[in-house]
Amino acid sequence: MDSPTPPAATRHIRLTSHPGQGTDSAPALRWGAADPHERGPVVGSTGNRSQRNVIGTHSGSYGVYRALAVAAGNLTKGHRADLTNTAPTDAVGPYPVWGDAHKMVSIDPWGASVQTVYADYLERGYDIRPTIAVTKAHIHLPEIKQALAFQRLQVDGKILLEDASATVTKIAVEPVWWLPGVAERFKVSEADLRRALFEETGGMYPELVTRSDLEVFLPPIGGQTLYVFGDVRDLANPNVTLTARVHDECNGSDVFGSDICTCRPYLTHAIEECIRGAQAGGVGLIAYSRKEGRALGEVTKFLVYNARKRQVGGDRADKYFLRTECVAGVQDMRFQELMPDVLHWLGITKIHRLVSMSNDKFDAITGSGIEVGERVKIPDELIPADAKVEIEAKVAAGYFTDGRVPTADDLAQVKGRGLE
Ligand SMILES: [Zn+2]
């Protein structure tokens, strides 16, 4: 195979792990400044190192695929995105909270509008990428078709169409971490946070420990996707009834219908509630976070399934959290502390109906200053038989319920299917 050999001048690797090396033209970042020009653009593209003002690069873990594409010669190093016609379909904000460095620590509030807000920089040759994209879609779900067939929902021609599709605005959000704010959120020192990030990624980002002048990190993790039913601007109006679910990715259930948990049934129930709410003059929101398997990853998750089902006595609700902790060292790594940022970005101050039973999510949302009205649990008839172990264990551990909280004896009686 003919592998392209770059000119000698570009073949040596330039480290940017020390200040003063090639940062002359990098725009200053003043996180928390309300004015986007005072705040400065986030420059995380790799084409021109002297312009970069962050650690890491765009698109989370997909940056590795970009590296592969460059290595394989499929992508020209330093390719600049042509952003023609990529602007958001719906305007979001700006809201005063965008200038609050304590509430907005894990996303760039100006990430959706760099095409216009930083047009002058783009013209001057800066490669600034949006970290948020806003578009429109129609979504087709069998559960919504079923809701129509059972007349729980009706076609209105606007939110829910004749072909049973729902109209949505969907918004993809990449994480942009302002490290001093993230450290504050987790009540740790910035130095300890930087050191742990450096060491636990196998030393992937030396600037974390050598460049304290770079305060913003684009972490190699998944982001969030928002699905909005109704008018996006209504999310910021506390007088418009907002139905919302904050959902963490569970590919096995969400996409493939695996029945060991309640994820897809709860998600589609929430979508039905969002549609109903939007049709009644409200607005609906699903905030979907890429935190597979409680952010432990799918390999760990499947190991835990085996450990649960093979333990003496079989899969039991009273051992649910214990088995996860044995494999992963913790019960959960989703850390809902950063999740509310995206709700604040949307201007949300009140969620009238929160379709979630998670106490962690509820505490994070209300703790960040967003009012929550009613909490909507998953209807019992939607819980798959094999998922009783999970839901009973969670309710016993503090998940919201309007029913009885199971005792330790009750939990020992709740059993799941064996491996077959
Ligand atoms: Zn699940």
Classify the C-alpha dihedral 25-29-33-35 as positive or negative: positive
Task: Reply yes or no on whether the pLDDT at 1 is more than 50.
Answer: no
Q: From the CA of 178, how far away is ligand 1's center (Å)?
A: 30
DSSP-derived pairing of the beta strands 371-375 and 350-354: parallel
Residue-wise pLDDT for 92-120, tens only, equals: 999 999 999 999 999 999 999 999 999 99
Provide the token pair at 336.
């809902």
| Contact predicate 265/307, CB 8 Å | no
**Residue 336 has what DSSP assignment?**
G
- pTM, two decimal places: 0.92
Element counts in the chain: helices (H) and strands (E): 17, 10
CA 358 to chain centroid, in Å, comes to: 16
Residue bearing the bigger pLDDT, 175 or 16: 175
| Contact predicate 222/290, CB 8 Å | yes
Residue-wise pLDDT for 67-95, tens only, equals: 999 999 999 988 999 999 999 999 999 99
Residue-wise pLDDT for 45-60, tens only, equals: 999 999 999 999 999 9
Q: From the CA of 302, how far away is ligand 1's center (Å)?
A: 11
| Contact predicate 374/350, CB 8 Å | no
Is residue 2 very low, low, confident or very high in pLDDT (cuts 50, 70, 90)? very low
Q: From the CA of 152, how far away is ligand 1's center (Å)?
A: 25
Residue-wise pLDDT for 133-167, tens only, equals: 999 999 999 999 999 999 999 999 999 999 999 99
Structural Rg of the chain based on CA atoms? 23
Q: From the CA of 260, how far away is ligand 1's center (Å)?
A: 7
Instruction: Report the b/e string of 157-185 with b at 16+ CB within 10 A.
Output: eebbeeebbbbbbbbbbbbbbbbbbbbbb
Q: From the CA of 201, how far away is ligand 1's center (Å)?
A: 26
Q: How far, in Å, CA of 238 to CA of 230, rounded?
A: 15
410-419: average pLDDT: 90
Q: From the CA of 250, how far away is ligand 1's center (Å)?
A: 5
| Contact predicate 216/53, CB 8 Å | yes
| Contact predicate 354/334, CB 8 Å | no
Residue-wise pLDDT for 353-404, tens only, equals: 999 999 999 999 999 999 999 999 999 999 999 999 999 999 998 999 988 8
DSSP string across 323-390: HHHHHHSSS----GGGTHHHHHHTT--EEEEE----HHHHHHHHHTT-EEEEE-PPPGGGS-GGGHHH
For the chain, the 3-state helix, strand and coil shares in percent, each to the nearest 5, are: 40, 15, 50
Task: Reply yes or no on whether the pLDDT at 22 is more than 50.
Answer: no
Is residue 281 very low, low, confident or very high in pLDDT (cuts 50, 70, 90)? very high
Q: Which residues are catalytic?
A: 332, 334
The H or E element containing residue 303 is helix 298-310
Residue-wise pLDDT for 187-216, tens only, equals: 999 999 999 999 999 999 999 999 999 999
> What protein residues have CB closer than 5 angstroms to ion ligand 1?
250, 253, 261, 263
Q: From the CA of 253, how far away is ligand 1's center (Å)?
A: 5
End-to-end CA separation in angstroms for the chain: 47
Residue-wise pLDDT for 319-366, tens only, equals: 888 888 888 888 888 889 999 999 999 999 999 999 999 999 999 999
- What residues contact residue 164 under an 8 Å CB cut-off, 6+ apart? 140, 144, 145, 148, 155
Identify the three-state secondary structure at position 196: helix
Beta-bridged to residue 170, according to DSSP, are 135, 227
Is residue 18 very low, low, confident or very high in pLDDT (cuts 50, 70, 90)? low
Provide the token pair at 286.
């699903």
Per the listing, tokens 């998944």 go with 222
Peptide bond before residue 94 is cis, with ω within 30 degrees of 0: yes
Mean predicted lDDT score pLDDT of the chain: 92
